[in-house]
Amino acid sequence: MKKNPYKEAPASFSICLHTDCTCASNCLRQLAYPILLERETFLHLANPARCTKDTSCPYYRDATPVTYMRGFSQMKKQMYPDQYQKFMNILIARFGRNPYFERRRGERKLPPKEQEIIRNALKQAGVTDNLEFDLKEDELNWYD
């Protein structure tokens, strides 16, 4: 992780004003607040009346970094042609043709949910080996 990862907070990220919340030290909305307050002219504010000040808060966003993956082009080299064809067809049906290839090339980050979809497609295609993605990145989960 970078020195201060909260500096990369998107300008449109909703922030929370409740510094007295029990989860403030680990809530991305609270940790990004001072950065966005200093940097942006307009802020997107979570409705303070709807915050519950605990982990059941509908706006709570965990500040723990998430592991994203990029690309799975190396997987093709480790599959039989029939397996790859089935694997590709499953994922094209799920994501669409162009988005499939963008994901395969690593142009899109793969959040954990999409990583699981890809691993399930491998199983459905009959791949028993544990195939790895091309690149691993740990980042804050601003939107997923």
Check whether residue 131 and residue 92 sit in a common domain: yes
Whole-angstrom Cα distance, residue 7 to residue 4?
6
Domain that holds residue 11: 5-50
Check whether residue 71 and residue 132 sit in a common domain: yes
Quick one: tokens of 84? 């790859």
Which pLDDT tens digit goes with each residue over 33-71?
A: 999 999 999 999 999 999 988 889 999 999 999 999 999
* In a domain? residue 102: yes
The pTM assigned to this predicted structure is 0.80
Spatial contact of 35 and 6, defined as CB atoms under 8 Å apart? yes
Q: How many domains does the chain have?
A: 2
Check whether residue 74 and residue 35 sit in a common domain: no
Check whether residue 40 and residue 70 sit in a common domain: no
* In a domain? residue 55: no
What band does 2 get if pLDDT is binned at 50, 70 and 90? Answer: low
